[in-house]
Amino acid sequence: MSKRIVIALGGNALGNGPDEQFAAARNTAKAIADLIEEGHQVVISHGNGPQVGMIHLAMGELNAKEPDKYPPTPLPICGAMSQGYIGFDLQNTLRTELLDRGVNKEVVTLITQVVVDAGDPAFQKPTKPIGSFMSHEEALAVEAEGIYAVTEDAGRGWRRVVASPKPQRIVEIGLIEAMVNEGYIVIACGGGGIPVIQKGNQLEGVAAVIDKDYASCRLAKDLDADYLIILTAVEKAAIHYGKADQQWLSDISIAEAEKYIAEGHFAPGSMLPKMEAAVDFAKSKSGRRALITLLEKARDGVAGRTGTAIAG
């Protein structure tokens, strides 16, 4: 039976450079084409962690050293660039894969803006490291000059840190829905979407990063999807991860998932946002299911053969 499925790809799964990204996109296209070939409607979102970092380094940090010659590129524009960069590879490799299978469907990437609340508490406590590493002395100088906030990142050095506000509204959702209804395969909300604040009729980009799992959940709810598939580096989520009593999770209820979240089983910035987004989607409407699994297991997961599935 045909399902409407939103698939959230991880940015790290797409490699650290153009060649790696293209190879990863070809592999991704095969798994997504399997679902399309079975008759499912598929909408794709993706992360952009390594990619937006590279763009920010090249056009933000390095340009800042010669601002009169090369004006530094603001983070929201770097995010827009990453959407086009990643979307270009995804839409072309998926189009090729589908045509090779005799499936004639158009694939389109939409530069997507996502409204956030200017009063979101995340702006008072930035948590998302971006950009290159600095020494402690460099970090102190940057902070003293009020250029931006910095944080120590897992013992590896100091980095710029920005807010990660929750998505409130997808600006282009009407257009996304119209294209999906017409049978197009849409790539949207790349990197969680470009965070913008509404000021009258003006949408103003802000230096922040929206978690792509939360944005994908918002997208799936707005499109009235049947499935939200969050792809990650493991076949299933687990409790007591990495310990002797580790337990892989298969079919679990919303109540069970919320209990495990409350008990602190999932790491912030890793599995926690995936589980929270999955629960949010599953509980938003009767019959909706969320799945966390590997890319190559997506089709088996929809068929109920693997993955961590969450439903009411």
Looking at residue 153, its amino acid is: D
Check if 12 is active-site. Answer: yes
- How far are the Cα atoms of 92, 198, 224, 228, 233 from residue 252, in angstroms, in the given order? 36, 38, 22, 15, 20
Q: Quick check: 44 and 32 in contact, CB under 8 A?
A: yes
| Structure tokens belonging to residue 186 | 């849409």
Q: Quick check: 25 and 90 in contact, CB under 8 A?
A: yes
Active-site residue among 53, 128, 190, 236?
128
Active-site residue among 47, 190, 191, 212?
212
| Structure tokens belonging to residue 279 | 């629960």
Check if 11 is active-site. Answer: yes
Active-site residue among 60, 190, 192, 274?
274
Check if 259 is active-site. Answer: no
- List 198's β-bridge partners, or say none: 203
DSSP code for 13: G
DSSP code for 11: G
* Antiparallel, parallel or unpaired: β 185-187 and 107-109: parallel
Catalytic residues: 11-12, 128, 212, 274
